[in-house]
Amino acid sequence: MAARRVYQVWKGSNKFICGGRLVFGPDARSLFVTLLLIIVPVIIFCVCVASHLRHEFSSYNSGYAILVVAILFTIHVLVVLFLTSSGDPGIVPRNPYPPEEEFRYDSSVSVDAGGAGRQTPSLQFPRTKEVVVNGIAVRVKYCETCMLYRPPRCSHCSICNNCVERFDHHCPWVGQCIGLRNYRYFFMFVSSATILCIYVFSLSALYIKVLMDNYDGTVWKAMKESPASVILMAYCFISLWFVGGLTGFHLYLLGTNQTTYENFRYRADGRINVFNRGCLNNFLEMFCTKVKPSRNNFRAFAREEVPPRPRAPIIPRDRDDLGGDRRPKVEADLDIGEDLLKISQRRNIEELDEDIQGRGSNGPPGNTSEPDSIMSSDHRAPTIRSDARHLSWERSGNWEIAQDVLANSNVTESRNYVTSKEMRQ
C-alpha cells in the first residue's frame, strides 16, 4: 500500500488542491462569488468609463493611466484575496492522544445505591489551565476535538474543524478562517477593496460630470448617456458600507491588538485585554514582523496512527469499584472466593494437625503414626512454610495472599482431601 500524505488523511474540513500546496476552507465555492463581485464591475468600468476618459485630459495619453491603475489595483486585490484564502491560517496540529501528563487522580465523595457516602479515587482531567501573558495569568481551554490545550488567543473553528492561532473569525467571502498567518492579507484585501470602490465611484462620477459639460445638459441627460456609470456608482456606494465598515472596524482592532472573537468576548465578560502593547507597537507587530511558518507540512508523508498509550489502572481505595459494568468484578470476586476457600481448607487441616499431635502426646503412639506420615511428607512441608510466611491471620480479617500460595492451591487441595479421608478412617 502506497504511503499517503498528510493532506490526504487530514481530519479537518479543509479542501486541498495542487497536491496539498493550497489549502482552502470547506466553503471555498463562495470564493467564486467574491471574484465575480470584483472582476465584473471592474470590466464594466474599464469598457464603459475608463476607455472614454483616456482622451479627456490635456496631456498626451495621460488618460490611459486611469485604465492602467484600475487594472493593476484589481490585480493587487485579487492577489491578496488569493493569499488570504489559499494558505494555512495558523492551524494547530492535532494530537493523536490526550496529554496524559495532565491526568491526575483525585478523591471524590460519591453516593452509592444505599445512600451511604464513600470516598473513591476518580480520574480527573482539567479542562482549563493558566498561562502567564505579559505578567497576567490567562486561562486556556482544552479542545476535545484536537486533544490539546489551545495556545492563548487560539480558538476552534466549527466550520473548518480546526484550532486556529489568533483566531479572528471565519470569513465566508474568502472561504477561509482568518487567523495568525493570514490576518495581514485579509486586512490588506479589505482595505484595498475599499480603495478600489472609492476609485471606481469617483471616476464614474467624474465621467458623469464630463458628459454634463460636453452636452451642456442636466444630470439626467448625462445619466441617460452613460447608465453604466450610474450603476457603478450605486454598486460602489453599497459596497463601501460593507468593506469600508470592515476596514474601519479592523483598524480599531489593530490599534487595540484585539481579534473579532476577543472583542465580542471581552465586551460580554468585561475582561481586560492583556495583549495591548500600545497603538504604534500593535501596528508594528502586525505589519513589520515576519509571518510565522506553518506548523503543518501538508505534503509530507503521514505517519501511521499511533495507538493510545496505556493508562495506569485506577485501583479503588475501598471495597467498591468506580462503577461501570460490574460483571468483570463479579467474576473476579468468584475467583478470589475460590482461592480463599482453598486456603481456609489448608488452615483447617493445619489446626487438625496440631490437634492430632496434641492427642498423640497423651494417647497411644500407634494412633498418630499414619496421619503424621501423611502430614509430614516432603511435598507438604514447603507448602506449610510458604503458607505460614505469606498468610497473616489478624483480628481484622485482612489476608495477604502471595502468588506462590495461589499457584499451589490445587495440589494442596488434593492433599487436604487425602488427609481428611485418612482422619475419618
111-122: b or e for each residue (b if 16 or more CB lie within 10 Å)?
Answer: eeeeeeeeebee
Query: Rounded to whole angstroms, how far apart are CA atoms 128 and 366?
Result: 80
Residue 71 DSSP SS3:
helix
Q: Catalytic annotation on 18?
A: no
Q: Which three cell numbers stand for residue 318?
A: 475501598
Residue 415 DSSP SS3:
helix
Contact (CB, 8 A) for 296 and 6: yes
Domain ranges of the chain: 4-90+174-286
Q: What is the pTM of this model?
A: 0.67
**What are φ and ψ of residue 371, in 5° steps?**
-60, -40
**What are φ and ψ of residue 205, in 5° steps?**
-65, -35
H or E element in which residue 208 lies: helix 183-215
In a 13 Å sphere around the CA of 216, the CA atoms on its Cβ side amount to: 0
Neighbouring CB atoms inside 10 A of 203's CB total 20
The predicted-structure confidence for 34-46, as pLDDT tens digits, reads as follows 999 999 999 999 9
Which DSSP symbol is given to 181?
A: T
Contact (CB, 8 A) for 297 and 5: no
Return the ∠ at Cα 234 (arms to 230 and 236), rounded to 5°.
Answer: 115
Residue 231 DSSP SS3:
helix
Contact (CB, 8 A) for 194 and 188: no
Torsion of CA 408, 414, 415, 420, to 10 degrees: 140
**In a structure prediction context, what are the per-residue pLDDT tens digits for the chain, which is 425 residues long?**
578 888 988 998 999 999 889 999 999 899 999 999 999 999 999 999 988 887 777 666 677 888 999 999 999 999 999 999 999 999 999 988 887 655 555 544 444 444 444 444 455 567 888 777 777 778 888 898 998 889 999 999 999 999 999 999 999 999 999 999 999 999 999 999 999 999 999 999 999 998 888 777 788 888 888 899 999 999 999 999 999 999 999 999 999 999 999 888 877 666 778 888 889 999 999 999 998 999 999 988 887 665 555 554 444 444 444 444 444 443 444 444 455 445 445 444 455 455 545 444 444 444 444 434 434 444 444 443 434 343 333 333 343 444 444 444 444 444 444 444 444 44
Query: Rounded to whole angstroms, how far apart are CA atoms 309 and 325?
Result: 23
Q: Where are the alpha helices (DSSP H) in 363-408?
A: 369-375, 380-390, 403-407
Catalytic residue (choose from 154, 157, 163, 171):
171
Contact (CB, 8 A) for 242 and 197: no
Query: Rounded to whole angstroms, how far apart are CA atoms 164 and 147?
Result: 14
β-bridge pairing 176-178 and 169-171: antiparallel
In a 13 Å sphere around the CA of 30, the CA atoms on its Cβ side amount to: 12
H or E element in which residue 170 lies: strand 169-171
